[in-house]
Amino acid sequence: MNTTAAPESHATEHGLSTAGYVRIALILAAITGLEVSTYYVDFGRLFLPALLIMMVIKFVMVVSYFMHLKFDNKVFSWLFYTGLILAVGVYCAALATFKFFG
Amino acid sequence: MWFTLDNLATAHDTHEGAAHSSTGLSNVKLGMWLFLGTECLLFGGLISTYMLYRGRVGTGPRPSQVFDIPFTSVSSFVLLMSSLTMVLAVSAAHKRDDRSTNLWLVITALLGATFVGGQVYEFTAFYNEGMGFSTSLFSSSFFVLTGFHGVHVTVGIIMLLALRGMLKNNKVPGSRAETVEMIGLYWHFVDIVWIIIFTLIYLIPA
Amino acid sequence: MANIENFATPSSAMGALKRPVVTKGWREWVFTVDHKKLGIMYMATAMFFFVVGGLEAVLIRLQLALPNGKILNADLYNQMFTMHATTMVFLFVMPMAAGFANYFIPLQIGARDVAFPRINAFGFWALLFGGLFINLSWFLGGAADGGWFMYAPNSGPIFSPSHGVDFWALGLQIAGIASLTGAINLIVTILNMRAPGMKLMRMPIFTWMILVVQFLLAFAVPVITVALFLLSFQRNFGATFFDVAAGADPLLWQHLFWIFGHPEVYILILPSFGIISEVLPVFSRKPLFGYPFVVFSGAAIGFVGWGVWAHHMFASGLGPVSVAVFSISTMAIAVPTGVKIVNWTLTLWGGKLWFTTAMKFAIGLIVLFTIGGLSGVTHSVAPSDTQQTDTYYIVAHFHYVLFGGAVLGLFSGFYYWWPKMFGKMLNEKLGTWNFWFMVIGMNLTFGPMHILGLQGQPRRMYQWTENRAGEGFFNLAFWNLIASIGSLVLVVGVFLFLVNIFITARSGKVAPLDPWGARSLEWMTSNPPKEHNFDSIPTVHHLDEFFHRKYAEDANGQMQQIATAEEVLKQLEDNADAHIHMPSPSYWPIVIAFGLPVTCLGVIYSIPLAIFGGLIILMGAFGWALEPSTAPDTDFDPPSSSNTSKDVVHVG
Ligand code: HEM
Ligand SMILES: [Cu+2]
C-alpha cells in the first residue's frame, strides 16, 4: 500500500503511507470506542483486564507506528522501554508496600 | 545488548545529521528518546500518587461524582486524532512538502488547543461542584497529575506554532524534517500518557 | 557538528540574534559552550560549595565538642546539618563529578566536544543558580531544617515555618534540571561521538562509570522531581500530600525520596570509582585487572541499585515481607562492589607501584571505602539496622563511603589530571601533606562515631550533657572531643590543597606532555588541550590506545617503547584535519538558566514574579531556537580563535 511514497526520498522507507497511518488511527479510534463502552455496558469480571489490555495495545500502537519505534533502530526502543519498565517496576513495588494491590 | 551499538555505523538508516556519529544515529533523536524514557518516571510518580490517594476524598466529592465520562471521552478522542495529524505532518516534512507540513502542524495545534480548552472547562466544572485544588488528597493529586499533562500539551502547542513560524521564515537551524519529527515524538508521548490517564484515572473507578 | 554543511542554515541573523563572538575577558567564560571551560567552571563552583559545606560541618562539630554546646541553638543546628548534607551531596560531589565528566569524557572518547554544547552550558548555569538559590535562604529567614531527606512532618509548615524548605525544594528542582540535561547530553555524547574504532569495550573505565552514573541520573532525577513538586504544592498551594492529619501517607515521600536516593548514592561514588580505576593502572605500570569485570560490576551496581531503596525505611513499619525482600537485595548489591575492590587490589598486585599523591588518594579510597562498605553490610541486616538507624553509627558509615570513598577519589583525580587541565604539576610534597592530613583527620572525625553510635548517641542531636556521657572507653565526652579535633585536622588538609592550587598557579612546575606515563586518549593532547582537543581524530585500535601507541611487544613478549608521547602527538598534528568545526558561543544558556531562580522566587513570594521568570525562560527559548547555527568567521575578534594555523570554524 505504499502508493504515496515519494520516489526520490528515502524518508518514508521505514514509515507507513498516509493510508497506513489513517488505518492505524481508525483502529485506535475503534479501541477507544470499545473502552468507552465499558462505561455503559457491564463487562463483569472482564472489565479490569479488558481495559488494561486495550490501554496497552493503544500505547504500543502509537509508540510503534506513529513514533516509528517499530521501524527505527533498536537503540531507541531500548532507551525508551528501559525508562518505562523501570517506572512500572519501582512504582508498582512502592504501591505494593502500601497494600494497593489487595 | 549495548554491544550491538558498535556495529551500527554501517546500518542502512543513516539520517541526515547523523553522518559522523559512532552509531550512525542522530544525536537529537537519541537525546529525545532518552528524554521520553525519563519522562516515564516523572508521570509514573504522579500517576502512582494519584492511585494511592484516589479514594481519600475527605468531605469532598468522590471521583465518580465529578467525572463526566462522555465529555472526557470526546476530548481524549480529539487528542488521539491529533497524533494522526502530527504523524502526517512528519511524513509531509520528510517528503519536503512544506505546504502540507504547515497545514498539518496547524491542525495538530488546533486539536491540542481543543483538548486543553476541554481541560480548562473540566477543571472549572469540578471547581463549581465543590472540588478545589486543596479539597482532598484525591483532588490535589488529580489536579497535579492532569495539570502536569496539560502543561505538557501546552508546551507542545507553543512548539508546534513556533515551528510553523520558523519553517515559514526559513529559520529552522539544522534539518527541517528532523526537527518536525522530534516535536512529533514529544507530541505522541503526551498522547500516550493521556491514553494511560484516561484508562487508569477516568474509566477504572476508585 | 562536522556535518553542518547538510543543514539549511538561516540566511540572516537579526541583530540581537547573532552569536556572541568575543573570545576575550569575562565574556569568554559567560557565553562559552566549550566543554573544557564548562568543566573547569563546574569544578570551581563545586570547590566553593565544598568549602561552604565544610565550614558548616565544622560548626556542627564545634557545637558537639563539649557538653552543653552553645555555639548554635537547636534551630540553627538543624539548619546546619541539613544544609551541610544538601551542600555536600548536591552542590559539591555531584557537580565535581559533572566537572570531571565534562572535561574528560570528550577527551577520553576522542571527540571535540559534547553532543549538545549549548545544553551543556545551560546545565552549568542552572546548577550554579540553583545552588545559590538554596543558600539564599540563609539571608531570607533561615535555611531548610528538616534533614537532608526532609521527611514529613518535619518538612511541613508547623515544624518548619520559615521559607527554608521552599528554597530547598525549588533550588534542588533547578539543580535537578541541570543534572537531567547533563545526563542526556553525556549519554548521547558517549554513545554517539566516540572516535572511529572506540568500541564500547575499548572505552576508558572512567567513561564507563560516568555512563552508568548518567543513566542513573536520567532515571532517578525525575522521581525526586515528583517528590519535590508535591512538597512545593503542599507548602505553597495548600495541598496535603504528606499531612497525616488530612489522611495522607507520609511514607509516600519516603518512597519517592529513596527511589531516587539510593541510586543517588551510586551517583556519588561511581565517578570516584572510575577515577581510581584510571589512576591505579597508570601508577602500577600495568593494565587494570579484569577490565570487563569492572565494567560489568559497575553496570550491575547501576541496575541492582534500583531494587534496594526501602532499606532506608526498615524502621518505618513497612511490613515483614517488604523488609525481608529489601534486606536480601541489599546484601546482594555488596557483591559487585566487592568485585571492584578485588580488581583494584589485583591491579596493584605485582605492579611497579609509584606512590604519587594521586596514587595515595586512590589507595586511601580502597581502604577507607572498604571500611564504610563493611559497616554498610551490617545494616543490610534489618534487625541490626533497627539498632543502628538514626545513631552516629550511620553517620560514621556514610562518611566513610562518602568522604573516604567519593571525596578521596575526587582528590585523586585532581592530582592526576591537574597537569592536563592547567599545564602545571601540583606540588607533590604539599600533596603528600594534604593526603595525610585528610586521611588522619577523616579517621579521627568519623572513626569515633562508630563508638558513639553503638553507645546510642542519636544523630541530629544538637547537644549532649555530661550526665549521659558514660565512663571509661565508652565515654562520650572523650570521643566527641576527638571527633571534633579530627574535623579541624580535616580542615587543615583541605586548606593545604587550596594552598597547593595557589602555589602551583604562581610558580608550579610546567607539566611535561605525559608526566605519568598515562594510558588513555585524553593524554594524547597538549597540556592543556587545544580548543578543538585533537588536531586529527585518532583511530582507536586498543583499550589503552595511548599506551599501545607508545609501547609494543618485542619478539620475547616484552613491552618495549616504540614512540615517545611527543612523537605520538606530533603524528596527530601532522595529519591535522583541514577544517575543524567547533560550536559557537551563545547568549541563551545563561539567560534561560537565570529565568529559573526568578520563577522560583516568584513561587515563594509573588506569582507575578513567577510569570515574569517564565517569560524570561520563554524568551530565552525563542532566542535559543532562532539563533543562527553559525557565527560568520569574520565576526570573530580575533578573526579566528584557534591557536593553530588550522581553519577552526565555530558552528552549531
Ligand atoms: C568536611 C568534613 C565533614 C565533616 C566534619 C562532617 C560532619 C558531619 C556530622 C558531624 C554530621 C552529623 C550531624 C548530626 O547528625 O547532627 C554530618 C551529617 C551528614 N553529612 Fe557530613 N561531614 C563532612 C563531610 C561530608 C561529605 C563530603 C558529605 C557528602 C558527600 C557529607 C554528607 C553528610 C550527610 C548526608 C549527613 C546527614 C545529614 C542529615 O542527618 O540530614 N558530609 N556530617
Ligand atoms: Cu540505599
pLDDT per 10-residue tile (average), chain C, 652 residues? 35 56 80 95 97 97 93 95 97 98 96 93 97 96 94 90 95 97 97 94 96 97 97 93 92 96 95 97 95 93 90 87 89 89 95 95 96 89 86 95 96 97 96 97 96 91 83 85 96 97 93 94 94 92 94 88 92 87 88 97 95 95 80 47 47 47
C-alpha cell at B39: 519522562
Question: Are B84 and A22 within 8 A, CB to CB?
Answer: yes
Whole-number Cα distances in Å, B68 to B71, B121, B203: 6, 11, 10
CB B115 within 8 A of CB C219: no
Question: Are A97 and C249 within 8 A, CB to CB?
Answer: no
The answer for residues whose C-beta is within 8 angstroms of residue C237's C-beta and 6 or more apart is B133, B134
C311 residue type, one letter: H
Question: Are B199 and A54 within 8 A, CB to CB?
Answer: yes
C218, C306, C322 member nearest A97 (Cβ): C322
Residue C349, number of CB atoms within 10 A of its CB: 11
The Cα–Cα gap between C175 and C181 comes to: 10
Coil, helix or strand at residue C643: coil
Residue C170 CA, ligand 1 centroid: distance in Å: 22
Instruction: Give yes or no for A63 touching B (CB within 8 A).
Output: yes
Range of the domain at A94: 8-101
> What residues of C are in contact with residue A100 (Cβ under 8 Å)?
none
Whole-number Cα distances in Å, C90 to C46, C84, C147, C177, C214: 9, 10, 14, 12, 15
> Which one of the ligands is nearest to C88 CA?
1
The backbone torsions φ and ψ at residue C251, rounded to the nearest 5 degrees and listed phi first, read -65, -20
DSSP-derived secondary structure letter, C637: B
pLDDT value for B91: 92
CB B41 within 8 A of CB A84: no
* Interchain CB contacts (distance < 8 Å): A and C: 24
CB B178 within 8 A of CB B16: yes
Count Cβ neighbours within 10 Å for each residue of B71-100 and write b for 16 or more, e otherwise: ebbebbbbbbbbbbbbbbbbbbbbbebeeb
> Which one of the ligands is nearest to C265 CA?
2
DSSP-derived secondary structure letter, B196: H
Count of domains forming chain A: 1
Q: What is the DSSP string of C385-454?
A: HHHHTTBHHHHHHHHHHIIIIIIHHHHHHHHHHHHHHHSEEPPHHHHHHHHHHHHHHHHHHHHHHHHHHH
Coil, helix or strand at residue C520: coil
> What residues of A are in contact with residue B88 (Cβ under 8 Å)?
18, 21
C-alpha cell at C540: 582507536
Q: Taking residues B71-100, what's their average pLDDT?
A: 94
- Angle, helices B27-53/C164-192, rounded to nearest 10 degrees: 140
Instruction: Give yes or no for C255 touching A (CB within 8 A).
Output: yes
- Closest residue in B to C110 (Cα–Cα): B22
The Cα–Cα gap between C127 and C122 comes to: 9
**Domain-embedded: residue A1:** no
Smallest CA–CA distance, residue A100 to chain C, in Å, is: 12
C-alpha cell at C224: 525526586
Instruction: Give yes or no for A28 touching B (CB within 8 A).
Output: yes
Smallest CA–CA distance, residue C600 to chain B, in Å, is: 17
Smallest CA–CA distance, residue A19 to chain B, in Å, is: 10
Residue B19 CA, ligand 1 centroid: distance in Å: 48
Q: What is the DSSP string of C80-140?
A: HHHHHHHIIIIIIIHHHHHHHHHHHHHHHTT-SS-S-HHHHHHHHHHHHHHHHHHHHGGGT
CATH 1.20.120.80 fits B25-203, yes or no: yes
**Domain-embedded: residue A89:** yes
DSSP-derived secondary structure letter, C24: S
> What residues of C are in contact with residue A82 (Cβ under 8 Å)?
219
Q: Using the atom order of ligand 1, give the atom closest to the CA of residue C407.
A: 27
C199, C240, C246 member nearest B6 (Cβ): C199
Smallest CA–CA distance, residue A79 to chain B, in Å, is: 5
The answer for residues whose C-beta is within 8 angstroms of residue C636's C-beta and 6 or more apart is C21, C23, C650
The Cα–Cα gap between C450 and C395 comes to: 8
Coil, helix or strand at residue C508: coil
The Cα–Cα gap between C13 and C17 comes to: 6
Mean pLDDT, all residues of chain B? 88
Is the beta carbon of C487 within 6 A of some atom in ligand 1?
A: yes
Is the beta carbon of C82 within 6 A of some atom in ligand 1?
A: yes
Of B151, B137, B148, B119, the residue nearest B44 (C-alpha): B148
CATH superfamily of C31-577: Cytochrome c oxidase-like, subunit I domain (1.20.210.10)
Q: CA B21, B22, B25, B26: dihedral to nearest 10 degrees?
A: -30
Of B10, A81, B145, the residue nearest C226 (C-alpha): B145
Is the beta carbon of C57 within 6 A of some atom in ligand 1?
A: yes
The Cα–Cα gap between B33 and B182 comes to: 9
B50 residue type, one letter: Y
Residue A20 CA, ligand 1 centroid: distance in Å: 60
Instruction: Give yes or no for B31 touching C (CB within 8 A).
Output: yes
- Closest residue in A to B183 (Cα–Cα): A67
Chain B interface mutation, best of C188, C237, C251, highest count of B Cβ atoms under 10 Å: C188
Owner of C-alpha cell 585528610:
C438
Mutate to test the pocket of ligand 1, among C58, C59, C62, C81 (most ligand atoms within 8 A of CB): C81
The Cα–Cα gap between B76 and C237 comes to: 28
C475 residue type, one letter: N
Instruction: Please report, in angstroms and rounded to a whole number, the separation of the first and last CA atoms in chain A.
Output: 48
The Cα–Cα gap between C443 and C473 comes to: 17
Is the beta carbon of C89 within 6 A of some atom in ligand 1?
A: yes
CB B111 within 8 A of CB B87: no
Owner of C-alpha cell 488505518:
A23
CB C288 within 8 A of CB C294: yes
> What residues of B are in contact with residue C198 (Cβ under 8 Å)?
22
**Domain-embedded: residue A72:** yes
Residue C84 CA, ligand 1 centroid: distance in Å: 6
The backbone torsions φ and ψ at residue A78, rounded to the nearest 5 degrees and listed phi first, read -60, -50
Q: Which parts of B27-97 fold into alpha helices (H)?
A: 27-53, 63-66, 69-94
Residue C519 CA, ligand 1 centroid: distance in Å: 36
The Cα–Cα gap between C252 and C240 comes to: 12
Percent helix, percent strand, percent coil in chain A, to nearest 5: 75, 0, 25
pLDDT value for C15: 44
pLDDT value for C584: 85
The answer for residues whose C-beta is within 8 angstroms of residue C549's C-beta and 6 or more apart is C524, C563, C568
Mutate to test the pocket of ligand 1, among C88, C155, C388 (most ligand atoms within 8 A of CB): C88
pLDDT value for C10: 40
The Cα–Cα gap between C16 and C467 comes to: 70
Whole-number Cα distances in Å, C550 to C521, C535, C563: 12, 19, 5
A83, A94, A97 member nearest C219 (Cβ): A83
C501: part of which helix (H) or strand (E)? helix C476-507
CB C304 within 8 A of CB C336: yes
Owner of C-alpha cell 495522607:
C248
DSSP-derived secondary structure letter, C201: G
Q: What is the residue with the minimal CA distance to atom 28 of ligand 1? A: C88
The backbone torsions φ and ψ at residue C61, rounded to the nearest 5 degrees and listed phi first, read -70, -35
**Domain-embedded: residue A3:** no
**Domain-embedded: residue A62:** yes
The Cα–Cα gap between B69 and B201 comes to: 11
Q: What is the DSSP string of B165-193?
A: HHHHTT---S-HHHHHHHHHHHHHHHHHH
Smallest CA–CA distance, residue B185 to chain A, in Å, is: 6
> What residues of C are in contact with residue A97 (Cβ under 8 Å)?
251, 255, 310, 318-319, 322
The answer for residues whose C-beta is within 8 angstroms of residue B99's C-beta and 6 or more apart is none
C337: part of which helix (H) or strand (E)? helix C320-348
The Cα–Cα gap between A67 and C640 comes to: 42
Is the beta carbon of C88 within 6 A of some atom in ligand 1?
A: yes
Domain boundaries, chain B: 25-203
Rounded (5°) CA angle C423-C428-C434: 115
Label the pairing between strands C647-651 and C579-583. parallel
The Cα–Cα gap between C336 and C169 comes to: 33
Lowest mean pLDDT among A9-23, B181-195, C28-42: A9-23
Q: What is the DSSP string of C584-629?
A: PP-SHHHHHHHHHHHHHHHHHH-HHHHHHHHHHHHHHHHHHHHS-S
Instruction: Give yes or no for A51 touching B (CB within 8 A).
Output: yes
Q: Which residues pair with C552 in a beta bridge?
A: C560
pLDDT value for C22: 67
Q: Taking residues B9-29, what's their average pLDDT?
A: 59
C647: part of which helix (H) or strand (E)? strand C647-651
> What residues of A are in contact with residue C219 (Cβ under 8 Å)?
82-83, 86
Q: Taking residues A70-84, what's their average pLDDT?
A: 94
